[in-house]
């Protein structure tokens, strides 16, 4: 009886370990939260792996803000988020290639006042 119990426990433990090991290589999309307020733009993380990235912009300021994601290579097209009222949020799922990206608010004067940040996609 003891041997049977030990064998059952060992089998369950090995199965759990193999499932964990198999899942270790798989990863879901990266998630970055961008908090905007007068006159700062703060990213929840500064580096993400290339591939699917969920980007959520939140306007915690008193003014309207938007978000523009621009890959720092010649000819890259910007990705624009809509203008957000205070306390509004917008989420987009993007596919980002490796490289450096500049995130900024395009409301006139806001980028110059400090609403800009850099995201590295590796």
Q: Residue 75 falls within a domain, yes or no? A: yes
Q: Residue 16 falls within a domain, yes or no? A: no
How far CA 97 is from CA of 36, 49, 57, in Å, comes to 24, 9, 20
Q: Residue 6 falls within a domain, yes or no? A: no
Range of the domain at 103: 28-121
- What pLDDT score does 26 carry? 60
Q: Residue 113 falls within a domain, yes or no? A: yes
- What pLDDT score does 9 carry? 40
What's the CATH number where 63 sits? 2.60.40.420
Q: Residue 7 falls within a domain, yes or no? A: no
Closest to 57 measured CA to CA, from 115, 121, 122, 120: 115
- What pLDDT score does 63 carry? 97
- What pLDDT score does 3 carry? 41
Q: How do strand 116-121 and strand 51-59 relate by DSSP bridges?
A: unpaired
Positions of the chain with pLDDT lower than 50, given as ranges? 2-25
Closest to 60 measured CA to CA, from 82, 85, 79: 85
Q: Residue 49 falls within a domain, yes or no? A: yes
- What pLDDT score does 20 carry? 41
Q: Residue 33 falls within a domain, yes or no? A: yes
Omega within 30 of 0 (cis) for the link into 70: no
Domain count, the chain: 1
Q: What is the pTM of this model?
A: 0.78
Q: Residue 5 falls within a domain, yes or no? A: no
């Amino acid at each position: 009886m003891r041997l049977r119990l030990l064998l059952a426990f060992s089998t369950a433990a090995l199965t759990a370990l193999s499932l964990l090991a198999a899942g270790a290589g798989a990863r879901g999309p990266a998630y970055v939260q961008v908090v905007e307020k007068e006159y700062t733009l703060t990213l929840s993380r500064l580096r993400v792996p290339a591939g699917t990235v969920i980007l959520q912009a939140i306007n915690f300021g008193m003014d309207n803000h938007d978000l523009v994601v621009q890959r720092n290579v010649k000819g890259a097209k910007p990705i624009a988020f809509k203008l957000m009222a205070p306390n509004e949020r917008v989420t987009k799922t993007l596919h980002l290639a490796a490289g450096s990206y500049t995130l900024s608010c395009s409301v006139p004067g806001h980028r110059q006042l400090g609403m800009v940040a850099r995201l590295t996609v590796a």
